[in-house]
Structure 1
């Protein structure tokens, strides 16, 4: 007997196009009984959900920085391998001429080392650029840990930190900062580089050497360890004080937020979001056959099941959701028995995006070995990961609707008067107030409104000189240009970017002077280029995220000002922001599907026979010693970190902004975001689900019905707003110009804030004037010592001899 025709790939429609008239693909064939088509579709769906994910749950810890050696490794590229030898050679030549005895650097006493470093700094002030570069390379070799004299990688890292602290104490950082300003002002070098037909790594040698020394010093000094001596700790605090533009990472942000809420008299935070995400489990990805819609998967009711069957399937879905919604998730439960724990394990697996109740075909009987799944075996989580929140506006809106319904008029922003309202409304208001959350931004907006209304009576605002405030003042007038430049670099570094980047070359630091001629050289250059782009995206995404969060904590309108420049560029030019625009969403999709936690990190290096770019092993590898492999993971954590940052940025830009949310809907980001759930990492999935949640009410009922697993995952993992009807909301009839009015109002508030606080004219005609005659004449003036000898002459010349036109004086005043 012939073999039956093979079924199509999982998730693809059958040959009958959903009309029930197909000729057998998936419906059976010669020698085998026919399988009901609906059941086969669900089998394909389950098979795909079990086998479509190529990676297990990713144990990824999101934080401010990677390991110390990993952060140092990202400074280098394979193209710079020969420069390690050059740096060592420059140091050894200079060291032999300055140090008379035959000792090496590690054998010198600390005083002798300081004397040598002081001599290096003196020789940095020579006029010759070539000599100055050699001295700078010698300093760079010290900052790299004098790897030529070390026996192990641990020694290299230790001496790198030791030398960096020594260099800082001798004033090296300030000296290199001055040299950096000289290079920035060197317009001749930049113009000559632009005139070259091909810019390579040789054109940025001076800049790279200076920035490498400064980066190594910052990275080594900021690292805190318990075994650090007291002198290092003191130097670290002095260095932080010196760098007042530094803002701090996520942990520092959380501490600042707690401190600021205490200063404003607000209750403490209920939880730390990053810590909560660490305890969350990644959900299994949703099935993608449902993306095609139920009309394509199931036969028409009139052909196989009848209308009653389709109705029963929808009721089964709704009943299962009702059971889930009616469960009291906040109720403290007693310890479960062993049987209950076993059933709970099965139930949790289904709730992680795999509700089997939604997959089960209600009319196809199960095989004898399989019993129907009953609702009694479904175990629900004991509580939600987040504390529910309610805004003051939500309470006011709820009372406004209730008063209009029951008593026929409203009381404005009064949330205390409940006269005339039924008892259930009283209980509802009480519950809402128990979960009310007042943010720092609400206090800042309220204070700003009062300052705008009463500028004279409230006086001048006292603005604390925080690092965020100093940075905002310094970059305020050039901030649009900064944001555009960062977005252009981000776009140029996007994977498979085809944008015109003639005005910006991000690969100049990795392109060699001579193009590769062998396969190994070409492979090495390709790895360098991809890795260079990944590091750029990682850096810029983290920089923008931290910048937004620090500005939001300092003042909400500073955050909104930066957000509007990021957002406006994306709305006006969809190619600029890879996380919002149409092209950008495609770039994000490629980053998720090709690189975000799925691309192998080491297979390319190992297959090419190259040492892994891992400092300090990378430096020692070019002296005949082998480099350790470092991280043996199959996934590129750098790209996963970038994807999470881009998602967090997108959430920051679109939160409570309806017009920006509509742009996500217009650019059809929902399918791309849903495919991003294939990466099984809890933090990434959380921010994907947040973005899907804010779009749900605009995507329509059919989308919600076809994506019930995603809806269930949102219920489980995203914070609940008590009276938010995101899943069933019908208030989507708002006109587009209403959304634009919100943006215009926000822009006006931002301009008023910047004008009031930062655009203060020096000689303003609106400055207060003392009109009291007694006060003016009573002021003591400092006159020259010889004035009393010649005051009579001055009166005669300046007062009595000058004609006074009384009519003109009276007319003007």
Structure 2
């Protein structure tokens, strides 16, 4: 029986526990991950902005925080006794509840920290839905929603932001944590209470915003969104949280609970900037304003309906299949030869089955596919030409199936590609170029005319191209081209706020992602991201150690989920707001080694990571406090929920793949980084996950580097090439599958990055700084008073020879002072 290892090597004293009966505790059969991947059905995972509200709230708490939930209840009861009221929240009328909240807010203003934090714990109990008085999870969620709205209307959110400011600057807590050998859960109690209240309010507002038109709290949600894009004091809440991550990574605040900080940061960005629906609406509006056609295809929606393709077989599987079916192949080949002579209908059926196997990946045709892949050729290009063999199979194909046959995307082409096609055609047939002429087709043969018409029919102009054209025009004509005022959207406000320290923020997020990656090795000199999950006393029994090991793994998975979502949201919104904002962030991510970091994360058994069940349902909030709690034993311990995947893990993998696509699309230097870091085998292993959207982003990454991998790689990976043809959008004149870009030189790619950096710096300096853009373009000051009154720094050489300067420039020069004063409009 396979054993399962919980790596709890978080400090020098931490044990490594390998419970032999782990599989028995799950009450599930042991899964053999080496079995045939074709037997695995498609995952029913649905990609969205976030998981269900119940799961998002449950992931806020660690299993080691369970005892603190009882402390919150105790603090609330003591406060109610102090107010001489019954300690039953639900029995009080709404007016009395508001009065209690205002009293607790007044208590937050006192100087005594113990009294202040007791009131904060009581408020946290209310935000948690007063769980001691409910009988079900649904009732707890309803009371959470009601209480959160009361707390927000009373002004609890800004009050807790002020408490957060106080705790961030608490030097005593930072000093105490830095002196300890190992930071534990006890070092961040107050911070975790404050962050929990802020997170619960933000998450409830996010859920209300999903159907805001029907929500009775519409005004509260809109006011909350407006509040998030305005600074609390001197800075935005998102900037404050990013600063906490930077301080944590620098080692000056090792007690910060990073999981709660990152979860709150993610939800603040998601609520203030918007998620998938907001991005879709903004893109349509911006394209309409720019005079561009509104794109009907939506990548997320189309990818949700994609079926997964059969993963490529590994070398071991191919050898095993070859040994098992050697005799079967010889018989099949003989049968095909005989059938080609005697029964032509059988040949057609075999070809049709072979083509359909590429589309559906059914089990009956798998042997033929594996045989053809080993021989180095494949007939699955029927994916890219769905009309092939349509006549033969039309009688047996249902109408619904025929309607779905075809490519999922409309092919595209860029204006740059059309210009290149015209330039090459003119030089070939006419012998000259027409710079800037995109209409004249004189002297070109009729097929070239048809080709140009087809290219123009499928031409797609992106918002980024329009923005780049405007920036180039302003760079060429700075005096005649006016600078448009940037609209103060939430994205623009956030970009202006984080621009100065954006490189430090990105490095901090990537450091945390590296520390949370399952492929990272535990080192003593790295940051300790599990400080807010480790108890003060280490577990003694095997069961306690196993529970802590699950908690640590769950903790890291949640951090990866939050960091990946934050980076992707910022990239998407910055690209939509202005392409150079996106490029600025992208370059700093690339400089901070984001590309090899993501590849390092994916360089694992992704199937095992996605199927990991590092959670215990009976310990999740609110199940751990509602009703009678069973004693946690080997018999009562149930790990996971029986699903074939973990939502947060597949969500994290898709986010990281999308980030990798964003960073490398149309950037040859970064595509070469994928090749240099040998990403192809890593990405091919990721194709084993049977999910259409995840495979789509993997195939996109493989497509962009195919031409650099060489002919031999393409010859031995024809099944992957066929999958790219069937799932990824086609560029009409892109020779990605057979083109060899061997003439590209490294310094060409370096020049490309340097040119992009110059454009981005020029954009940032012009819009967000007061630096002198170009001295020759600045107006000259000819006013006598200001010129004579300005301070001039004299060089040492001038001071030594100033008498000679006076003799030559003053005494020997004749100056008409009257004319000079009149020309400068100076009145004496």
| TM-score normalised by structure 2 residue count | 0.75
Select 1:74's aligned residue among 46, 54, 59: 59
Which residue in the other structure is 1:187 paired with? 171
Number of residue pairs the alignment of both structures matches: 678
**Following TM superposition, by how much is the alpha carbon of 1:226 offset from its aligned partner in structure 2, in angstroms?**
6.1
Give 1:412 deviation, angstroms. Answer: 2.3
Does structure 2 retain, via aligned residues, the 8 Å contact 1:407–1:420? yes
**Secondary structure of the corresponding residue to residue 611 of structure 2:** coil
* 1:98-140, Cα deviation, whole Å (9 max, x unpaired): 144x362101111110011000000011111111111110000
Pick from 635, 638, 643: which aligns with 1:633?
643
Deviation at 1:492, TM superposition (A): 0.1
Contact 2:373 2:718 in 1 (8 A): no
List runs of 5+ in structure 2 lacking aligned partners: 1-32, 230-268, 324-328, 341-346, 376-387, 787-811
> How far apart are the structure 2 equivalents of 1:631 and 1:404?
65
- Quote the Cα distance in structure 2 between the aligned partners of 1:622 and 1:184: 38
Q: Structure 2 CA distance, aligned partners of 1:276 and 1:709?
A: 22
Query: Residues 502, 268 of structure 1: CA spacing in aligned structure 2 closer, same or farther, 3 A cutoff?
Result: same
- Structure-1 residue corresponding to 2:447: 424
Indicate the residue corresponding to 1:558 in structure 2. Answer: 581
Partner of residue 21, structure 1: none
Give the direction of change, closer, same or farther, for the CA distance of 1:720–1:176 in structure 2 (3 Å limit): same
Question: Do the aligned residues in 1 keep the contact of 2:110 with 2:116 (CA within 8 Å)?
Answer: yes
Shift in CA distance, 363/758, structure 1 to aligned 2, threshold 3 Å: closer
Q: Helix, strand or coil for the counterpart of 1:455?
A: coil
**Counterpart contact for 2:429–2:443, Cα < 8 Å:** yes
**CA deviations over 1:136-183 (Å, ceiling 9, x no partner):** 100000000000011211111100111000000000001000111111
User: How far is the alpha carbon of 1:450 from its aligned partner?
Assistant: 1.0
Alignment partner, residue 599 of structure 1: 612
SS at match of 2:592: helix
For residue 236 of structure 1, what is the aligned residue in structure 2? Answer: 221
Change in 2 beyond 3 A, CA 1:698/1:116: same
Inter-CA distance 665–762: structure 2 relative to 1 (3 Å threshold) = closer
Partners in 1 of 2:438 and 2:654 — Cα distance?
39
Matches within 5 A, 1:160-199: 160-199=144-183
* 2:101 is the alignment partner of 1:117: yes
User: Deviation per CA, 1:449-489, whole angstroms, max 9, x where unpaired?
Assistant: 11112222223321111111111111111011001000000
Corresponding residue number in structure 2 for 1:451: 474
How far did 1:501 drift?
6.0
Q: Which digits, 9 at most, give the CA deviation of each residue in 1:516-542, with x for residues without a partner?
A: 111111111101110010000000001
Deviation at 1:267, TM superposition (A): 0.2
Matched residue, 2:360: 349
Q: Tell whether 2:656 aligns with 1:646.
A: yes
Q: What's the secondary structure of 2:608's corresponding residue? A: helix
Question: How much has 1:196 moved relative to structure 2?
Answer: 1.2
| Structure ID, larger Rg | 1
Q: Secondary structure of the equivalent of 2:618?
A: coil
1:560-588 Cα offsets, whole Å, 9 max, x none, are 11000111121xxxxxx3xx21x652431
Match of 1:273 among 283, 292, 299: 299
Moved more, 742-751 or 242-251: 242-251
Alignment partner, residue 669 of structure 1: 679
Deviation at 1:232, TM superposition (A): 1.3
Q: Is the counterpart of residue 260 in structure 1 residue 253 in structure 2?
A: no
Q: Is the 8 A contact 2:765 2:773 kept in 1?
A: no
Residue number in structure 1 paired with 2:80: 95
Q: Which residue of 494, 497, 501 corresponds with 1:478?
A: 501
* TM-score, normalised via structure 1 length: 0.77
1:527 to 547, 550, 554: 550
8 A contact 1:145–1:157 mirrored in 2: yes
User: Which of the residues 106, 113, 116 maps onto 2:90?
Assistant: 106
Q: CA RMSD in A?
A: 3.8
Question: 3-state SS of the aligned residue for 2:659?
Answer: helix
Question: Could you say if the C-alpha distance between residues 600 and 507 of structure 1 is closer, same or farther in structure 2, counting changes exceeding 3 Å?
Answer: closer
Task: Please name the residue that 1:289 is paired with.
Answer: 315
CA positional deviation for 1:672:
1.0
Q: What is the DSSP-based 3-state SS (H/G/I as helix, E as strand, rest coil) of the residue aligned with 2:624? A: helix
Distance in structure 2 (CA, Å) of the matches to 1:61 and 1:140: 32
Deviation at 1:228? 9.1
Deviation of the 1:350 alpha carbon:
4.4
Query: Are residue 383 (structure 1) and residue 397 (structure 2) matched?
Result: no
User: Is the 1:285–1:353 Cα contact (8 Å) retained in structure 2?
Assistant: no
Q: Is 1:685–2:695 an aligned residue pair?
A: yes
Aligned residue runs from structure 1 range 182-581, under 5 A? 182-224=166-208, 231-244=216-229, 246-289=272-315, 348-350=359-361, 358-360=369-371, 382-498=405-521, 500=523, 502=525, 504-570=527-593, 577=594, 580-581=595-596
SS in 2 for 1:458: coil
- Does 2:601 align with 1:587? yes
Q: Is the 8 A contact 2:553 2:614 kept in 1?
A: no
Cα distance in 1 between the residues matched to 2:743 and 2:521: 38
Q: Distance in 1 between matches of 2:815 and 2:137?
A: 88
Return the alpha-carbon distance in structure 2 between the equivalents of residues 49 and 83 of structure 1. 43
Q: How far apart in 1 are the matches of 2:94 and 2:372?
A: 78
User: Are 1:616 and 2:622 counterparts?
Assistant: yes
In structure 2, the CA distance between the partners of 1:436 and 1:230, relative to structure 1 (3 Å rule), is closer
Q: Deviations over 1:187-231 (max 9, x none)?
A: 232122111111001101111000000000011122127699865
Cα separation, partners in 2 of 1:250 and 1:809, compared to 1, 3 Å: farther
What secondary structure, in the 3-state scheme, does the structure 2 residue paired with 1:590 have? Answer: coil
CA 1:586 to 1:347, structure 2 compared with 1: closer, same or farther past 3 Å?
closer
